[in-house]
Amino acid sequence: MDSFFKVKRPQEVYQIIDAFEALGKETVSTAHAVGRVLSGDLTSPEDLPGFARSTMDGYAVRSKDTYGASESLPALLEASGEVFMGQCPRDAVGPGRAVRISTGGMLPEGADAVVMIEYCHFLDESTLEVSRSVSPLENVIEPGDDFRKGAGVLAGGHALRPQDVGLLAGLGLSELPVYRKPVVALISTGDEIVPVDVLPGPGRVRDINRYTLDAFCRRAGAEPVYAGLCPDDFEPLKDMVEHAMETADTVWISGGSSVGTRDLTLKVFDTLPDFELLVHGISISPGKPTIIGRCGGRPIVGLPGHVASALVVADVFLSRLLDRLSGRRHTGPWRRHEVTATIGRNVESTNGREDYVRVRLVEGPDGLVAEPVFGKSGLISILVASHGLVRVDMNTEGLYEGQQVRVWIPGA
Amino acid sequence: MDSFFKVKRPQEVYQIIDAFEALGKETVSTAHAVGRVLSGDLTSPEDLPGFARSTMDGYAVRSKDTYGASESLPALLEASGEVFMGQCPRDAVGPGRAVRISTGGMLPEGADAVVMIEYCHFLDESTLEVSRSVSPLENVIEPGDDFRKGAGVLAGGHALRPQDVGLLAGLGLSELPVYRKPVVALISTGDEIVPVDVLPGPGRVRDINRYTLDAFCRRAGAEPVYAGLCPDDFEPLKDMVEHAMETADTVWISGGSSVGTRDLTLKVFDTLPDFELLVHGISISPGKPTIIGRCGGRPIVGLPGHVASALVVADVFLSRLLDRLSGRRHTGPWRRHEVTATIGRNVESTNGREDYVRVRLVEGPDGLVAEPVFGKSGLISILVASHGLVRVDMNTEGLYEGQQVRVWIPGA
């Protein structure tokens, strides 16, 4: 019963994870910054735009010259010249004058608005009939309308999207301050595990976990490094973990499915200098036998051996850990990719435990149906056949066929 | 009015995009395959698992020796030996015998089930009391239970997730057949555009579109190449496009905001050998002045000059084009990351046109609120301030404050 009391609720584990600090900072070329996380607030180094620009094709005018203009009583202006793209206008716009301008063109001195070409007609070579009035600054953006010099542009902790990268490049920032990508050392253990390029002898299986977790890290923007495959022996595993801790930001051990492997992992962790055990078991299924500790400020994780359990723990907890290490701020409840569906059949669940049920999504006549994908414990095909996870709350005893559920599609 | 009739509805544009074929195939190391798209159906090269495995810690037994066993009337078995992980069991399990086995251990000959350790107690050194009966194959997975040799595992067109990569590695596949990543040549045009590392003179702006589209391609798993920045002149642009077509799978031109640039783009396209104009304008806002053509079987695209318009076209149409070129099958309506929110204020829309409104998501007392982010045409800050897009259907005249909407978060 001792271990029962040690098992932590998911919310407690989230708090423990959130206490880890973001990694160090580095500078990255703006061209390669998409997906990276800003390590500090950015302010605009200059006014954007840097000059008054037209937002339409038309004629640059003094707005008051058009006041009262209408189709029945157009204003007559004298048109001459043109603003060339990318050039400083040669002539100022005097009273009663108009100069041709294109979208993005620089507003000439004297002008304070642009009349759209649709409302302009030539009466003769130089007399322009304007059939609509414009207000001051109409169809014009002024210097600093996007950002004034010194104004806040994006905050630290923001993960850069294509438009953010474009804007920052537009402000002339060719390099950006970002957090380092977490380096995750992956160790596989278990006497029965062989490398994937080896034909497993009787009783042996290939190292599925390593490849699954490696791909998980890559997709999350982290940098997995393979620290090795270790038999269930104390000394070699201890050496491997110590060696991995020297360079990695976090170490994840997984692979063996036996209880022996799990016990060994904790025994090795316990011998590390400064090791502090934070989590020994989580009230979640699958994924209960998870170990999380801190060692020299860095998180160190022992994952359940079965890949289906390890992946639930990775999706639910380790993606949050990677966000934390890479400084990514959670921006809102919309970050998770979830869809609503009705559950295809009854699902039993144990009170006091958070269950994650793998489901396959099917389009039914009344919308999406989430069909639970069941099968014997230990099967891997279930992972491949399913599209997402349904969380069954701690305080519910299960789901009823036809009930509406939220299906989470991790990483999509 | 001629051009009005030429403008295509979004659905027509989707059909045109879907007619492009997937690119060629290549082989990629399984370790780097996450996110890649399988170019053919994969079948299992062997049985998985390759041997009967225990899914529990316990004792391997002949199930019939346990029939009728209960707490009040346990079965008594003679226990000896142990199955070591990763090894072939040394002894067979004879009648009335039991052998210790761990999760993942290989089932010994003679045994057909595993009794969980919880139901086993030793009476003396070798006599095991089993307080629960097991059926044949209970707590055991048999060879091929995941996949039989020759059975279908994953279909061509599937984008590989971490669990898929893990499973395929587990089947011994160290390389996988995938479609090539699309190589996208990006050309920026416009006399007013300067490279981002240049201080723009009066009337000039930095090349925001190139960086935005480059990041867009990277995030979508494509390979952007920068084909150059071109002034609004026919010959140099023609040379640049022809040169880009030699190596890229698709060419996207963007940058200039003036009508002159757009006209020039089409004029250059028209001179290309085998050029076929497929789309000249789309009934979508923003993004109407989009050109899509085919040239030597490859798509060639002229994007609106303003980055906000170009990005809507990229999100709505070009992500689909990249999916198409990279062979990715649309797997269902759940692929898009969307959330439900109420719209924060009225939004007008023009009938007969599909509108995309940028919104900022805010957590309100009754759930998410989508606040439209408006501003003068030509502003870039709107793109950065918003979280997602709300589509206003062709057949609606707008949205009413408080109405429920779906907010699409592209690429999230």
Residue B350: pLDDT band (50, 70, 90) is: confident
pLDDT score of B178: 98
Q: Check CB contact under 8 Å for A207 and B169.
A: yes
Query: With bands split at pLDDT 50, 70 and 90, how would you rate the model's confidence at A73?
Result: very high
Measured between CA atoms, the residue of chain B closest to residue A101 is B258
User: Mind telling me how many Å the CA of A146 is from chain B's nearest CA?
Assistant: 5
Residue B145: which of A145, A379, A409 has the nearest Cβ? A379
B195 interfaces chain A, CB cutoff of 8 Å: no
Residues 6+ positions from A76 with CB-CB distance below 8 Å:
A123, A127, A128, A129, A130
Specify the DSSP class assigned to residue B345: S
For residue B223, is pLDDT > 60?
yes
Q: How far apart are CA B204 and CA A70, in angstroms?
A: 34
| CB-closest option in B147, B192, B219 to A35 | B219
Which 3 state secondary structure label does DSSP give B284?
Answer: strand
What pLDDT was estimated at residue A278? Answer: 96
Task: Tell whether the model's pLDDT for residue A107 goes beyond 60.
Answer: yes
| Amino acid in the structure at residue B22 | A
| Mean predicted confidence (pLDDT) in B321-327 | 96
Residues of B in contact with A103 (CB under 8 A): 257-259, 305-306, 378
CB contact B219 to A (< 8 Å):
yes
Q: Does B311 touch chain A (CB under 8 A)?
A: yes
Q: Do A212 and B259 touch (CB under 8 A)?
A: no
Quick one: how far is CA B26 from the chain centroid? 19
Q: Is residue A300 over pLDDT 80?
A: yes
- Give me the phi and psi of B309, to 5 degrees please: -70, -45
Chain B interface mutation, best of A55, A56, A163, A366, highest count of B Cβ atoms under 10 Å: A163
pLDDT at res. A24? 96
Q: Does A138 touch chain B (CB under 8 A)?
A: no
ipTM for the predicted complex: 0.94
How far, in Å, CA of A305 to CA of B56, rounded?
Answer: 12
Helix (H, G, I), strand (E, B) or coil at A11: helix
Beta strand residue intervals within A110-182, DSSP E: 113-116, 120-122, 127-130, 140-141, 152-154, 175-179
Task: Read off the tokens for B322.
Answer: 């990249």
At residue A255, the pLDDT reads 73
| For testing contact with chain A, the best of B233, B369, B380, B387 (most A CBs within 10 A) | B380
**Which chain A residues in 7-66 lie under 8 Å from chain B, judged by CB atoms?**
30-35, 48-51, 53, 55-57
Domains parsed from chain B with CATH numbers: 2-23+180-325 (3.40.980.10), 26-45+154-179 (3.90.105.10), 53-141 (2.170.190.11), 338-408 (2.40.340.10)
pLDDT-based confidence at residue B376 (cuts at 50, 70, 90)? confident
pTM of the complete model = 0.95
Q: Which of B172, B214, B380 sits opposite A196 (nearest CB)?
A: B172
Cα angle A394, A216, A233 (rounded to 5 degrees) comes to: 85
pLDDT at A387 over 60: yes
Angle between helices A234-247 and A259-271 (to 10 degrees): 60
pLDDT of residue B56: 93
A34–B334 C-beta distance less than 8 A: no
Within 344-363 of B, beta carbons closer than 8 Å to A belong to 361, 363
Q: Tell me which of A6-15, B148-157, B179-188, B259-268 is least confident.
A: B259-268
Q: What is the per-residue pLDDT for B214?
A: 98
* Surface of B (241-280) touching A: CB under 8 A: 256-261
Q: Which helix (H) or strand (E) holds B361?
A: strand B354-364
Give the span between the Cα atoms of A169 and B255, in whole angstroms: 14
Residue B377 has a pLDDT of 80
Return the percentage of chain A with pLDDT > 70, whole number. Answer: 98
The model's confidence at residue A377, banded by pLDDT at 50, 70 and 90, is: confident
In chain B, what percentage of residues exceed pLDDT 70? 98
pLDDT at position B220:
95
The answer, yes or no, to whether residue B110 has pLDDT greater than 50, is yes
Q: What is the mean pLDDT of residues B4-12?
A: 84
- Looking at beta carbons, which residues of chain A come within 8 Å of B378? 53, 55, 103-104, 141
Query: How many residues does this entry show for chain B?
Result: 412
Q: Looking at residue A157, what is its pLDDT?
A: 97
Terminal Cα-to-Cα distance of chain A (whole angstroms): 39
> What b/e readout covers B371-384, taking b as 16+ CB neighbours within 10 angstroms?
bbbebbebbbbbbb
Instruction: For residues B158-175, give the mean pLDDT.
Output: 96
A221 to chain B: nearest residue by CA? B219
Residues of B in contact with A209 (CB under 8 A): 166
pLDDT in tens, B257-300: 667 777 899 999 999 989 999 999 999 999 999 999 999 999 99
Q: Hey, is B181 helix, strand or coil? A: coil
Strand residue runs (E) in B202-348: 205-206, 223-230, 250-254, 276-280, 284-285, 291-295, 298-302, 338-343, 347-348
Through-space distance between the first and last CA atoms of chain B, rounded to whole angstroms: 39
pLDDT of res. A36: 97
Instruction: Find the mean pLDDT for residues A262-274.
Output: 90
Confidence at residue B258, expressed as pLDDT on a 0 to 100 scale: 66
Q: Give me the pLDDT at residue A3, please.
A: 47
pLDDT at A257: 63
**Burial (CB count within 10 angstroms: exposed 0-12, middle 13-18, buried 19+), residue A270:** exposed
Q: Mind listing the pLDDT tens digit for each residue in A248-257?
A: 999 999 976 6
Confidence of residue B242 (pLDDT cuts 50, 70, 90): very high
Give the highest mean pLDDT range of A191-195, B19-23, B396-400: B19-23
* Chain B: residue whose CA lies nearest to A340: B334
**pLDDT tops 50 at residue B186:** yes
Those of residues 273-302 in B touching chain A at CB distance below 8 A are none
Does the pLDDT value for residue A335 go beyond 90?
no
Rounded to a whole number of angstroms, the distance from the CA of A397 to the nearest CA of chain B is: 24
Give the pLDDT score at A5. 53
Least confident of A17-26, A43-52, A247-256: A247-256
DSSP letters spanning B135-181: -TTTTEE-TTSSB-TT-EEE-TTPBPPHHHHHHHHHTT--EEEEEPP
Distance CA B382, CA B264 (A): 28
